[in-house]
Chain A
Amino acid sequence: MKRKLILTFLVLSLIILAATGCSSEEKQTLSILNYDIYIDKSLLTEFEKANDVTIKYDTYSTPEEMYIKVKSGASKYDLIISSEYMIERMINEKLVNKLNFDNIPNYKYIGEDFKNHVYDPDNEYSVPYFWGTLGILYNKKTVDASSDSWAMLWDENHAQKIIMMDSQRDSFAAALKLLGYSINTVDEGELDEAKELLIKQRPLVMAYITDGSPAIMVTEEADMALVWSGEAVAAMSENENLDFVIPKEGSNIWIDAMVIPSTTQNQELAEKFINFLCSTEATLRNIDEVWYSTVHTEAIKQVDEELLNNPAFNIPKEDIAKMEMLRDPKEFIELYTERWTELMAQ
């Protein structure tokens, strides 16, 4: 009896394995790597049917994990959507290919504000996807946001109700901006000052989390949180007591963009997919799913009014000029990590 059970297990698993594991189809495959909940999945099926291809879709959590796999050659994707500072690194290390923009006519819809940035100065390797900034999501009922300053996060009246990010560069950015320094500084004196500021803040911090802080704001367990603008959009729609502010000292601008890794075998197909995503229709469907700010000049005209009224979605153009972009920290990340570790070891 036992032997039969084991045998059945074996056979079953081999069958499942054969059915799901092997892709012995003749269709072309497109392998895509993206952040989670960052695309309307129906777009994938639509593209698959329209072009008679199969899409392998994987998700990841942080750009650094993704970088290890791409750099080591362990993964061979055709399209990767990632953040600007990591794209900067991948371009510098020749891990991505130049794009043939003849295959991406819809590129014309991408706003000029999002081109010619420092990570891809000649716009040769990437196409912007979503963008946003760093700001403070706060509860209007309990927090006085009139100061419009990063100092809000250091307000002792809200001890233990403040959430900072687990991401050290973002938390440091808040401190550095408050002090008037660059978020990419490598000046150890400036970094030490920021570190001291963060150490002073520690007793006031409820938790250092990157995931799920909007959820905590929605249930009103915290008064304010350091968040990316895109996260704030969803939170504000779930709880009208919440509001979002980009402090006057300035913030950062981040752009998530699409790149094609150099290991691809399907460059043209990937470019076709990029073009597809850049169509107004696809972009609108993506906005509906993701709720992050759009780079698309046509789509923004057709977006819901509710979204347009949301300050976390509709970021004023004037603010963009004051925003700094994160640079690839590969050479100097130790400076930050060391100080972050010291902060954590208090």
Chain B
Amino acid sequence: MVKKYLSKIYMGIIFIFLYAPIIVLGVFSFNESKSRGNWTGFSLKWYIELFHDHDIRMAFYYTITIAIITAIVSTILGTIAAIGINAMKGRQQALILNVNYLPVVNPDIVTGISLMILYISFNMDFGFMTMLLSHIVFSTPYVILSILPKLKQLDVHMTEAAMDLGATPMYALRKVILPEIKPGIITGFLMAFTLSIDDFIISYFTKGEGVTNLSIVIYSMARRGVRPTINALSTIMLIVVLLLMILINKRTNGHDKPKKIYRSEV
């Protein structure tokens, strides 16, 4: 009994820690003055200004668009790659994996500048595509990192059994392997999305004119002080995501129970 309360209190503390700055951001998005620390009164003016601020909205669209596309593409790319890499042996596998993890291990600025040099040597036009490409480059290794452990766990015999029972390799892939590594795929997807949304340096050096993302906009505000319009945007994002989460939860909770009974019976 005590343990349960302790657990709840502990998680409570952790969540307070995790969300303290976010709550502060949210509260001060309603602050009358520009000040980050002094509360001068309630006001919606930053939200109104947000609707008029074309540049911040563009930055937001680019950030989200790139994050979604990056997550989708790197998850697909990473899943296929992980399956292949897992089938490799010894030296070959080790070499590919080590190279794969270089963007993970390198400081962002090195990845950013080296990609910029690469694009220049290929005479590429900088713009949306170069930024997107860079995001996919640095996200995919994380996807592979998430999926490989699950692949290793996969019971080889299950795939063989499926094929003994008449399944084609593609069918075995779709109906046996993919469902088993699904948690890894989902984690990979979320990681790619998270990393892309927050990226600053790599985006900065590989973007083109007129293309930007939230991190770059915020960082260039550093000289004169961050405007609360950004706080307003973050608060809106937070609320939207929370709502999404509640929605998804309601749906999955509805589905979960019947499934569980079936599994434990087997």
Give Cα distance in the complex from A31 to B224, angstroms: 22
Q: Enumerate chain B residues within 8 angstroms of A57, measured Cβ to Cβ.
A: 55, 210
Nearest CB to that of B222 among chain A residues? A211
Q: Which of A177-217 contact B (CB under 8 A)?
A: 210-212, 214-215
Q: Enumerate chain B residues within 8 angstroms of A65, measured Cβ to Cβ.
A: 204
Q: Enumerate chain B residues within 8 angstroms of A74, measured Cβ to Cβ.
A: 116, 119-120, 126, 205-206, 208
- From A12-20, A245-253, A280-288, A317-325, the one touching the partner chain is A12-20
Q: Enumerate chain B residues within 8 angstroms of A72, measured Cβ to Cβ.
A: 116-117, 120
Q: How far is the CB of B126 from chain A (nearest CB, A)?
A: 5
Q: How far is the CB of B48 from chain A (nearest CB, A)?
A: 15
A309 at the interface (CB under 8 A from B): no
Give Cα distance in the complex from A264 to B256, angstroms: 59
Q: Enumerate chain A residues within 8 angstroms of B225, measured Cβ to Cβ.
A: 37, 211-212, 214-215
B104 at the interface (CB under 8 A from A): no
Number of A-B contacts (CB under 8 A): 96
> Which one, A16, A56, A61, A215, contacts B223 given CB within 8 A?
A61
Q: Enumerate chain B residues within 8 angstroms of A13, measured Cβ to Cβ.
A: 64-65, 68-69, 72
By the criterion CB–CB under 8 Å, are A219 and B223 in contact? Answer: no
Q: Enumerate chain B residues within 8 angstroms of A59, measured Cβ to Cβ.
A: 217, 220-221
Knowing A56-B209, A58-B212, A74-B120 are in contact, say whether A212-B222 is a contact too (CB < 8 A): yes
> Which one, B72, B116, B117, B221, contacts A36 given CB within 8 A?
B221
Knowing A16-B61, A21-B128 are in contact, say whether A37-B119 is a contact too (CB < 8 A): no
Knowing A56-B209, A59-B217 are in contact, say whether A9-B68 is a contact too (CB < 8 A): yes
By the criterion CB–CB under 8 Å, are B210 and A58 in contact? Answer: yes
Knowing A65-B204, A73-B120 are in contact, say whether A211-B223 is a contact too (CB < 8 A): yes
Q: Enumerate chain A residues within 8 angstroms of B69, measured Cβ to Cβ.
A: 13, 17
Give Cα distance in the complex from A13 to B210, angstroms: 18
By the criterion CB–CB under 8 Å, are A9 and B220 in contact? Answer: no
Q: How far is the CB of B52 from chain A (nearest CB, A)?
A: 9
Nearest CB to that of A12 among chain B residues? B68
Q: Enumerate chain A residues within 8 angstroms of B68, measured Cβ to Cβ.
A: 9, 12-13
Q: How far is the CB of A271 from chain B (nearest CB, A)?
A: 19
By the criterion CB–CB under 8 Å, are B209 and A75 in contact? Answer: yes
Q: How far is the CB of B119 from chain A (nearest CB, A)?
A: 7
Say what secondary structure dominates the interface of chain A: mixed
Give Cα distance in the complex from A214 to B224, angstroms: 9
- From B30-38, B161-169, B234-242, the one touching the partner chain is B30-38
Q: How far is the CB of A273 from chain B (nearest CB, A)?
A: 15
By the criterion CB–CB under 8 Å, are B223 and A210 in contact? Answer: yes
Q: How far is the CB of B131 from chain A (nearest CB, A)?
A: 10
Q: Which of B149-207 contact A (CB under 8 A)?
A: 204-206
Q: Which of A11-35 contact B (CB under 8 A)?
A: 12-13, 16-17, 20-21, 23, 31, 33, 35
Give Cα distance in the complex from A334 to B106, angstroms: 24
A69 at the interface (CB under 8 A from B): yes
B19 at the interface (CB under 8 A from A): no
B219 at the interface (CB under 8 A from A): yes
A98 at the interface (CB under 8 A from B): no
Q: Enumerate chain A residues within 8 angstroms of B55, measured Cβ to Cβ.
A: 41, 57
Q: Enumerate chain B residues within 8 angstroms of A50, measured Cβ to Cβ.
A: none
Q: Enumerate chain A residues within 8 angstroms of B72, measured Cβ to Cβ.
A: 6, 9-10, 13
> Which one, B64, B65, B117, B227, contacts A21 given CB within 8 A?
B65
A218 at the interface (CB under 8 A from B): yes
B58 at the interface (CB under 8 A from A): yes
A77 at the interface (CB under 8 A from B): yes
By the criterion CB–CB under 8 Å, are B220 and A61 in contact? Answer: yes
B62 at the interface (CB under 8 A from A): yes
Q: Which of B21-72 contact A (CB under 8 A)?
A: 35-38, 55, 58, 61-62, 64-65, 68-69, 72
Q: List 26 A-B contacts (CB under 8 A).
A: A9-B72, A13-B64, A13-B68, A13-B69, A16-B64, A17-B65, A31-B210, A36-B221, A37-B225, A58-B209, A61-B219, A68-B113, A68-B205, A72-B116, A73-B120, A74-B119, A74-B205, A75-B208, A75-B209, A210-B222, A211-B225, A214-B225, A215-B37, A215-B225, A219-B38, A231-B224
Q: Show the binding face of A for B, using Cβ within 8 Å.
A: 6, 9-10, 12-13, 16-17, 20-21, 23, 31, 33, 35-38, 41, 56-61, 65, 68-69, 72-77, 210-212, 214-215, 218-219, 231
The 6 closest A-B pairs by CB, nearest first: A56-B210, A211-B222, A59-B220, A37-B224, A36-B220, A31-B209
Beyond A35-B223, A36-B224, A75-B126, list 9 extra A-B contacts (CB 8 Å): A13-B64, A17-B69, A20-B65, A21-B65, A31-B210, A35-B224, A58-B210, A59-B221, A210-B222
